[in-house]
Structure 1
Amino acid sequence: MIEIEFGMADVARTRFAISPLWEVMASVRVLKGADEQGLHRGWVRQVRPRLAASGLDLGPLFDFVPVPTRSPWAGSVPGFLCPSPTTPLPSLDVELASVRATPPALLSTSAAVPRHRMAALRADPATELGRLADAIEAYWELALAPYWSRVLTLLEGDIRYRAGRLVEGGAQHLFGDLDPQVTWASGTLQLEHRTARGARRLDGRGLLLVPSAFVWPRVFSVLDEPWQPSLRYPPRAVGTLWHTRPPAVSDALARVLGRSRATLLTELTAPASTTELARRTGLTPGGVSQHLTALRDAGLASAHRAGRQVLYARTRAGETVVQAARAGAAPPPEPA
């Protein structure tokens, strides 16, 4: 059990952030076996063959994310690969710039990283950190970028919910349903942990709360300097993240976009190719391509190259439009 002690300044400085870089690390853990319950099975089935077909050398990344030996509890990630975000939603580029600039003094870890990899990193930090950042970027494009709008919608929804809890009832209300492994009592946050014990004082630094799609059922803590102390925890409704059954096409959305484009946007609950969308919708591949181009030009869809394929996905704006149309289609409440 870890006891995180809060002072008044720590409560005032507690904040939320989302970290694309952390999602990379946590998702690699899933690919390496940290998902015994199969929560991300659908994502793994799509991504694993895509990574294999790419021919990319992802060793510089995968070697730094140890195989969980007592899944899901073991398998820590080097601290220099999960620094606390300094802004609420940094881009991956910003976080990778931080990785590339990691001071040599911080290039150490107790994680089970292969010795040759750590030796090369210490011998030539600039080259090896650049190689690692390039591998992360390549992995992101194939494994996470096509799904990011969906993941981001889930994470931002959790932050809105928790911010409301904080406003309604303070820290006790905020942490009350954060996770079964976390409890709050008299200014102390208690975190269940299999190996670590003892008290940790925040000393006015506050706590950073980072919802993460790929950590369930674990809560990760980073409590050592030089980074702001943080908890990476599963967001609410993470179990619904990969539900791919598309809802019926909204008539309101069809009136705005046209039936074909509304159908395609609704179908993009998961990244898909032009051929796959044509098969599912009955539209011609040429028609699908034309409509997807229009949706992309309008900022409602994005395209991501995966080997020889191009995968289309909804953007954040696309997610908002579909959800707004769905909400608008709900019947008004009965009069009192």
Structure 2
Amino acid sequence: MLTYELTSRDLAEVRFAVSPVAEMVLSLRALREPGRFPLQLGWIRAVQPRVAELDWDVLRWLVNDTMGSPDFLTPRPTSPLTQLADELQVIANVDRETFERQVVAVNGELPPDLTIDKVIEALHQYWDAMMAPYWDRMRTLLSADISYRGHVLTQHGTGAMLNGLAPAITYADGLLKVDRVAAVSRTEAVDGRGLVLQPSLFGPHAVIPFDPGADPILGYPPRGQANLWSVVEPPSQQDLAQLIGTPRAHILELLTHPRTTTDLAGELKVTPSAVSQHLQLLRRTGLVEPQRTGKQVLYRPTELAALLTGAELA
């Protein structure tokens, strides 16, 4: 068990983040022991044809028999919008002493030919083959969970939000207890360092740092995983038109790349004001989002719209 001691200041500074690189590294657990990850069997089956192509001479050192990984591989994310390239750069810059110490702590030995460069190369290959084709779907679920937790926090307070994260996670009287995560129990004070909560698809109970005293971070299982890998055919254009209306369905169909209201109006042969009304409704329902470029406002579909239509985001 890990117990985090939280002051009132610490509680006020709890924040959420998503880590692409953590999901990638932790997903090695599911490939290693699929039986422990029944909710991710859809992903495990889908990626099986690519498993043999990966650099297991390197990857096998990134997770041990008890599902531990070196902490330098999962740098603490700072935002729900964390980018993979930024995290890989942090890993690439880890100092040799930390690299060697943490690999030995997790595996009990340091293979003589293992280097940071080889780890980065193996992770790039792993991401392209195993994660990239599914990341939009994963990230949408993770982001939706953060939105839900934020609503609980706002409506019911930090304590209620923490107690609702997972059965293995409980909070009372300034103590956040995380069960089923470590053979040796330890207690650590957050002490103003900030606690980051990170939804993770590959931590059935919870995920904590391997090293005692590491920056406070807690991975927890997000809601909605049971249906994440359900195979559902995207709706036809006719079905989508019945759902949201023909003009708005046509607008989503045209947004294969960011476009202005005037551009869309010309394509649809209607007035810009008519298109603007449809775009505002699509925006309020979370299907499009604006982005300003100079004096122009461009509209693009959101991840929710991509899931609805089966399209790829531009």
Structure 2 length as normaliser, TM-score?
Answer: 0.74
Q: Which residue of 1 aligns with 2:262?
A: none
Gaps in structure 1 of 5+ consecutive residues: 68-73, 122-127, 263-293, 300-315, 327-336
Q: Cα offset for 1:75?
A: 1.8
1:88 aligns with 2:76: no
Q: Give the letter for the 2:305 counterpart.
A: V
1:20 aligns with 2:46: no
Counterpart CA distance in 2 for 1:321 and 1:198 is: 44
Q: Which residue of 2 aligns with 1:113?
A: 107
Counterpart CA distance in 2 for 1:321 and 1:86 is: 26
Equivalent positions of 1:39-54 (< 5 A) are 39-52=39-52
SS in 2 for 1:98: helix
SS in 2 for 1:40: helix
Q: Which residue of 1 aligns with 2:179?
A: 192
Q: Give the letter for the 2:42 counterpart.
A: G
Q: Match for 1:202 among 190, 197, 206?
A: 190
Q: Match for 2:64 among 59, 66, 72?
A: 66
Equivalent positions of 1:105-254 (< 5 A) are 105-107=97-99, 108-109=101-102, 111-113=105-107, 115-117=109-111, 119-121=112-114, 128-193=115-180, 194-216=182-204, 218-222=205-209, 224=211, 227-246=214-233, 248-249=235-236, 251=238, 253-254=240-241
Q: Match for 2:55 among 54, 57, 64?
A: 57
Q: Cα offset for 1:199?
A: 2.1
Distance 1:223 1:189, change over 3 A: farther
Q: Give the letter for the 2:60 counterpart.
A: F
Aligned pairs, how many?
261
Counterpart CA distance in 1 for 2:137 and 2:179 is: 30
Q: Which moved more, 1:33-42 or 1:151-160?
A: 33-42
Conserved? CA contact 1:6–1:188, under 8 Å: yes
Counterpart CA distance in 2 for 1:46 and 1:114 is: 32
Counterpart CA distance in 1 for 2:56 and 2:51 is: 9
SS in 2 for 1:115: coil
1:101 aligns with 2:88: no
Distance 1:166 1:49, change over 3 A: same
Q: Give the letter for the 1:104 counterpart.
A: R
Conserved? CA contact 1:219–1:234, under 8 Å: yes
Counterpart CA distance in 1 for 2:69 and 2:210 is: 13
Structure 1 length as normaliser, TM-score?
Answer: 0.69
SS in 2 for 1:168: helix
Q: Cα offset for 1:184?
A: 0.9
* Identity percentage of aligned residues: 33
Counterpart CA distance in 1 for 2:21 and 2:150 is: 23
Q: Deviations over 1:273-325 (max 9, x none)?
A: xxxxxxxxxxxxxxxxxxxxx88x537xxxxxxxxxxxxxxxx9464225678
Conserved? CA contact 2:3–2:187, under 8 Å: yes
SS in 2 for 1:209: strand
Counterpart CA distance in 1 for 2:249 and 2:155 is: 42
